[in-house]
Structure 1
Amino acid sequence: MTTPNPPTSSPHLKVSFPHEYIAHVEISRPTKLNAFISPMWSALPPLFSHLSTDPSIRCIILSGTGSRAFTSGLDVTAASSPDSVFALANPDSSSVDPARKSSLLLRHITDIQACITAIAKCGKPVIAAVHGLCWGLGVDLITACDVRFASPGASFCVKEIDIGLAADVGTLSRLPKCVGSASWVKDVCLSARVFGAEEALQQGLVSRVSKGEGGGGAEDQKGAVVEMAMEWARGVVEKSPVAVQGTKELLDWGWDRGVEEGLRYTAVWNAGMLQTRDVREAMTAGMEKRKARFEKL
């Protein structure tokens, strides 16, 4: 399956179109457990900006290539190289004025934050299909997604505190909003302990765990969770794109706002969007017991 306007390819982000209206983005650096280097997060904004506005795409699946990891997080070796911006954070590096160091680091951190936020800002639903390791930056990535599924053998870790820093590109802001327990959030963030798919399900970090035993084959586990995500996506793309994107927009807008504000914004939004032909088509298809057909948005 192809899209009429495929996004620019990236060596570390593989994009395929396995079903009409569905894009599958795979983090692809399997020999390094899909650990992120600078070109990888830099490729996220243009890719998700394209997918967000491409009328041929209605839903996006995000997964990792290979059998061992969604992503193991930041490539610490690459980040520790002398030419890395992280080297500037070394207090023994005295060649640069501290204020100028801070200014450079601030720009760098906010740039990476914006790369992860590109997923959250995507106008189409994004579902994370997590298998294997999902550590550090992996948690930043999945908490920016709309829906999260995991394989039984998936493992999660907010790892940053173990390398001497507070997670700074999304987890500490988004994770508390994705789950219901502030105590649990502090538990995993302050200890950097590894937790599994069942605990993630119990706390609400993921909404489903695919079938199969935790000791099952890694490739089978990855295939099962991707297929679970694909089945969910196939159901979503059959619905009105006006309704789907509107629902995501209204849920995201109300994330940090009160009920009255949300009601008002919803009313204003639907004052325009209720004028779509999709409402009549959905109702007519239901009465005629046939599959509804919706135009691209």
Structure 2
Amino acid sequence: MTDAPFHVTVADGLALVTIAGSGKGNALGGSFWDELRDFMEKARHRDDIRAIALTGEGGTFSVGMDLRWYVVRLRRAQRSRNPSFMDDDVRLLQQAVTAVADCPKPVVALIDGECTGAALELVSACDIRYATRHAHFALPEAELGVVADLGGLQRLPLLINQGHLRELAFTGRTIDSRRASQIGLVNDVFADPSALHQAARQLTDDLRRHPAHVLEGIKRTLDIVHQDGIRRGLDHSARWNSIRTGPEGLGQAMSARLRCPAPPDDTVRHRSTTAS
């Protein structure tokens, strides 16, 4: 693993963005958010990129937000007594996820292993989601005493019905890729990462048959009817957490989570399979 939060390779029209993050399990923190936003802005102007694929290093998509990184930020906010820090900070993270959704190029998520919390919100901003049989998903923000606020609660209803989403958000329950496919969270499930990446290459070959402006037009037409609602929802969730939880409450919850981490992957997979 390098110090870079992700690395990019471009071949035959496909930009493969491999997430390393800022901590174990490709945790999303540090410069990841700013660099992801900047890459998406630059990718829209590159003629050699027809599609973008997000994936993770080492058999994991991402464990979600880097809690160690964010706890430090919350402690700084408490010391500064800046009442708007949490609200302002969340909006910066939201911008990175929104940059994925707003990119005019089709974006596909290639998900192997864990995809939790902020990572699930990130893939909800992608156009297409492919997963391996070993992928599993959760939205556990309620366990931290906060509302998911990076766009998952606004974009996931466009993928799965309200009952399934409310079950995920209320309980924090983990589901496996079979269940995710059943409820429409992922487009297809593949045997292993090799098959996953081959599917992305085949998708890019299919997309290259069509003019780029047509693909952008399709994406814009599909998105425009939902954009106002998504913006209002992002604003509401940011303000809700800032007022109801605040930096001190969230910092305490994150610190407690770090002391008592989630079960190992095998335990999670077994639980999610039997629960579904």
Matches of 2:110 and 2:85, distance apart in 1: 34
Q: Give the length in aligned residue pairs.
A: 227
Aligned counterpart, 2:66: 75
Match of 2:164 among 180, 184, 187: 184
Give the conservation status (yes or no) of the 8 Å contact 1:175–1:185. yes
SS in 2 for 1:129: strand
Aligned counterpart, 1:55: 47
Matches of 2:140 and 2:200, distance apart in 1: 26
Aligned counterpart, 1:143: 124
SS in 2 for 1:38: coil
* Identical amino acids, percent of aligned pairs: 27
1:183 and 1:88, CA in 2 relative to 1: closer, same or farther beyond 3 A? farther
Q: What TM-score does the superposition give when structure 2 sets the normalisation length?
A: 0.77
Aligned counterpart, 1:233: 204
1:158 CA displacement: 0.3
Aligned counterpart, 1:87: 75
Which residue identity lines up with residue 169 of structure 1 in the other structure? Answer: L
Aligned counterpart, 2:221: 250
Aligned counterpart, 1:156: 137
1:113 and 1:256, CA in 2 relative to 1: closer, same or farther beyond 3 A? closer
Give the conservation status (yes or no) of the 8 Å contact 1:53–1:123. no
Map 1:195-214 onto structure 2 (within 5 A): 195-210=175-190, 212=191
Give the conservation status (yes or no) of the 8 Å contact 1:10–1:43. no
Matches of 1:32 and 1:139, distance apart in 2: 17
1:197 and 1:207, CA in 2 relative to 1: closer, same or farther beyond 3 A? same
| Structure 1, unpaired ranges of 5+ | 1-8, 213-220, 258-297
1:17 CA displacement: 1.0
Matches of 2:90 and 2:23, distance apart in 1: 26
Aligned counterpart, 2:57: 65
1:80 CA displacement: 1.9
Matches of 1:205 and 1:130, distance apart in 2: 12
Q: 1:63-121 deviations in whole A, cap 9, x for unaligned?
A: 11112x1001011122223xx1x2267xxx5x555xx32x1211111111011101001
Q: Higher helix fraction: Structure 1 or Structure 2?
A: 2
Aligned counterpart, 1:273: none
Q: 1:128-173 deviations in whole A, cap 9, x for unaligned?
A: 1111000011111100001111111100000211222111111111
SS in 1 for 2:103: coil
1:146 and 1:161, CA in 2 relative to 1: closer, same or farther beyond 3 A? same
Q: What TM-score does the superposition give when structure 1 sets the normalisation length?
A: 0.72
1:54 CA displacement: 1.1
Which residue identity lines up with residue 16 of structure 1 in the other structure? Answer: T
Give the alignment's Cα RMSD to 1 decimal. Answer: 2.0
Matches of 1:233 and 1:49, distance apart in 2: 20
Give the conservation status (yes or no) of the 8 Å contact 1:130–1:154. yes
SS in 2 for 1:34: coil
Aligned counterpart, 1:216: none
Whether 2:74 is the aligned partner of 1:106: answer no
1:61 CA displacement: 0.9
Aligned counterpart, 1:280: none
1:182 and 1:148, CA in 2 relative to 1: closer, same or farther beyond 3 A? same
- Higher RCO (Cα < 8 Å, 6 or more apart): 2
Aligned counterpart, 1:26: 18
